[in-house]
Amino acid sequence: MPVDKHTLLSTKHANIFALGDASDIPASKAGSVAHFACEVFVGNFLQHVQGQAMTGSFDGHANCFVESGDQRALLIDFNYDTEPLPGKYPLPVVGPILFHQNALVYASWALVVLIAFYLGRTRPGLNVRAVGENPGDPTQLGPVMAKLMAEARLNSDLFGEDVEGPGRPSHDI
């Protein structure tokens, strides 16, 4: 059925819409096209039956998965204006490792760098490292460490966790 490719309304009948294989839109007849067209159709249909101008515009969005073997597939995504484009990672082996990650992976990498900088290049970080390397009596490291230990003891009292240190016996059973 001939339809306007953006509104999906028939060009021959005033109150008929067509989706998917029933329409003559210049797009793939894949199920994804009907899926994305339906998102536009619903709003347009409701506006049309209420006598309002239709504001939704279907852009021909389609995507297809192409099996490439070895339990892998390619995703091809295109619309009326953009044809599928060839592409590849900028670095053959390292590219997928660096550029194909979840945002949390990138955040964890940044956190590792920040922690390494903090522990190796700042005075508080060096104090933390010193306590970790010599946990016997951190108060010997000066008033800053005595203050940190007092804060740790206060936090342990508030939150019910045990902190060992001078004057605080271990609770080994």
Nearest CA among 23, 17, 12 for reference residue 41: 17
The CA-based angle 129-135-136, given to 5 degrees, is 150
The predicted structure's pLDDT at residue 2: 93
Q: Within this chain, do residues 82 and 134 fall inside the same structural domain, yes or no?
A: no
The predicted structure's pLDDT at residue 169: 53
Q: Within this chain, do residues 63 and 31 fall inside the same structural domain, yes or no?
A: yes
Task: Please report whether residue 1 resides in a domain.
Answer: no
Task: Please report whether residue 7 resides in a domain.
Answer: no
Domain count, the chain: 2
Q: What single string gives the DSSP state of each residue in 57-68?
A: -----EEEEEEE
The predicted structure's pLDDT at residue 11: 93
Q: Within this chain, do residues 73 and 26 fall inside the same structural domain, yes or no?
A: yes
Q: Show the domain range for 141.
A: 98-159
Q: Within this chain, do residues 24 and 83 fall inside the same structural domain, yes or no?
A: yes
pLDDT tens, per residue, the chain with 173 residues = 999 999 999 999 989 999 888 899 988 788 888 999 999 999 999 999 999 999 999 998 888 888 888 888 877 888 888 877 666 655 666 666 777 778 888 899 899 999 999 888 888 888 777 766 666 665 566 677 777 777 777 777 776 655 555 555 555 54
Is the separation of the CB atoms in 55 and 45 below 8 Å? no
Task: Please report whether residue 58 resides in a domain.
Answer: yes
Q: Within this chain, do residues 106 and 83 fall inside the same structural domain, yes or no?
A: no
Instruction: Record the pTM.
Output: 0.46
The predicted structure's pLDDT at residue 94: 67
Residue 76: strand, helix, or coil: strand
Q: Within this chain, do residues 105 and 149 fall inside the same structural domain, yes or no?
A: yes
Q: Within this chain, do residues 69 and 26 fall inside the same structural domain, yes or no?
A: yes
Task: Please report whether residue 93 resides in a domain.
Answer: no
Q: Within this chain, do residues 26 and 72 fall inside the same structural domain, yes or no?
A: yes
Q: Within this chain, do residues 61 and 116 fall inside the same structural domain, yes or no?
A: no
Task: Please report whether residue 66 resides in a domain.
Answer: yes
From 87, 121, 146, give the residue that closes a domain.
87
From 65, 87, 109, give the residue that closes a domain.
87
The predicted structure's pLDDT at residue 96: 66
Q: Within this chain, do residues 70 and 129 fall inside the same structural domain, yes or no?
A: no
From 44, 68, 87, give the residue that closes a domain.
87
The predicted structure's pLDDT at residue 126: 81
**Cα 1 versus chain centre, distance:** 40
Token pair recorded at residue 32: 């994804």
